Amino acid sequence: MTTLVFLESHDGELTKGGLGVLGKAAALGGDVAGVVLGSGVADAAAGAGAFGASTVYVVDDEALAAPLPQPRVDALEAVVRESGADTVLFPASVLAADVAAGLAARLEAGLNWDLTDLRMEGDELVGVRPALGDTVLVDVGWSSTPRLALIRAGTFDPVESGGTAETKAVAATFQDFSTGARLVEHLTEKAAGPSIEDADVIVAGGRGLGGPEGFSHCEELADVLGGAVAATRAVVDAGWYPYAAQVGQTGKTVSPKLYVALGISGAIQHKVGMQGSGTIVAVNKDPNAPIFDFADLGVVGDLTQIAPKLTELLRARR
Ligand SMILES: Cc1cc2nc3c(=O)[nH]c(=O)nc-3n(C[C@H](O)[C@H](O)[C@H](O)COP(=O)(O)OP(=O)(O)OC[C@H]3O[C@@H](n4cnc5c(N)ncnc54)[C@H](O)[C@@H]3O)c2cc1C
């Protein structure tokens, strides 16, 4: 098997999601290469060797400066042909999903998406995909090569192998229709503290907070624990907290060491995004809330009483 892993770089660094998928690909065996597409990305690409790539293909071109998918489809097609890859893995992101779909159309290749695991059965690659609202896991395969797969965000943690990778520059030809779109504006959301994907501690809030102002309970507790604040879809949809903080089926998948859920019922669509957390602590006034079925520590009570006391105690201990 010859596997290519699509690696995104932000601010000169390869993203954790891509490095995690690279490590998984290396564990499956065969030739594993990373592919980095962008402008001025050669330095970032070199870092892939330490996470399981023996080769890193780089297409460094001004046409790839903006995070737009279509020029990346052209560049990736060139790399697939140059490398002879039979498998291309994408860690899910908004950009990667568009690139994967475009490449599937271009190569007439099969794309399995939202995979949460991969394994070899003999010479066959088998993907694992949650289905029916994440209540069952199904095996999926490919009937031809190249096989393309989008891996659910946050599924694999990067593992440092300490190796080095040979860097190969590839030239791409861009189609006229690929370079027609233009990035008009790029806004960066300012965030204080760690992001929910990287945080060891997350304090998440749900509808039980009572309103947007209720998030102060989460923010104060997260602050004292050095953690990040997350939210359920119900409160994001209500405009109480930004979408970037949503955890769950249609939000982010997180796996912190500690996940504190305040006023969250524990719906299956929320659970699938945080069930990989080390320890789950839930505060809910309803003793029959589903979250108590999978929390490690459940506190039945009013969060407006419990959260401030907990924050105060932790602050005093510090
Ligand atoms: C296709 C689809 C995709 C979805 N994707 C997601 C997703 O990605 N993420 C997600 O989170 N949801 C998702 N949902 C929505 C999901 O089904 C639930 O509706 C949502 O998670 C509920 O959010 P909640 O727990 O904040 O609200 P609720 O279910 O309303 O729960 C609020 C909880 O707060 C408790 N409470 C109230 N007051 C207090 C208090 N003072 N103290 C303590 N506890 C209190 C209540 O007992 C209750 O258990 C999706 C749904 C669908 C259909």
Q: Which CATH number fits domain 2-178: 3.30.70.1020, 3.30.465.10, 3.20.20.190, 3.40.50.620?
A: 3.40.50.620
Mutation choice for ligand 1 from 270, 272, 280, 286, CB with most ligand atoms inside 8 A: 270
Q: What is the per-residue pLDDT for 250?
A: 86
CATH superfamily, domain 201-317, is TPP-binding domain (3.40.50.1220)
Q: Name the more confident of 318 and 28.
A: 28
> Which of 132, 202, 233, when mutated, tests ligand 1's pocket best, judged by the most ligand atoms within 8 Å of its CB?
233
Segments making up each domain of the chain, as ranges: 2-178, 201-317
Nearest-CA residue for ligand 1 atom 53 is 269
Q: How far apart are CA 164 and CA 146, in angstroms?
A: 26
Residue 111 has pLDDT above 70, yes or no: yes
pLDDT tens by residue, 225-256: 999 999 999 999 999 999 889 999 888 889 89
Give the predicted TM-score (pTM) of the model: 0.72
Instruction: Tell me which residue of 165, 163, 156 sits closest to 119, measured CA to CA.
Output: 156
Arithmetic mean of pLDDT over the chain: 94
Distance separating alpha carbons of residues 4 and 297, to the nearest angstrom: 42
Q: What is the DSSP letter of 21?
A: H
**Is the pLDDT assigned to residue 142 strictly greater than 90?**
yes
Do 2-178 and 201-317 show the same overall fold?
yes
Cα 195 to averaged position of ligand 1 atoms, centre (Å): 21
Residue 116 dihedral angles phi and psi, to the nearest 5°: -115, 0
The residue with greater pLDDT, 5 or 194, is: 5
Task: State yes or no: pLDDT of 119 exceeds 90.
Answer: yes
29-62 pLDDT, tens digit per residue, is 999 999 999 999 999 998 899 999 999 999 999 9
Rounded to 5°, the CA angle 207-211-212 comes to 110
Window from 103-117, 189-203, 221-235 with minimum mean pLDDT: 189-203
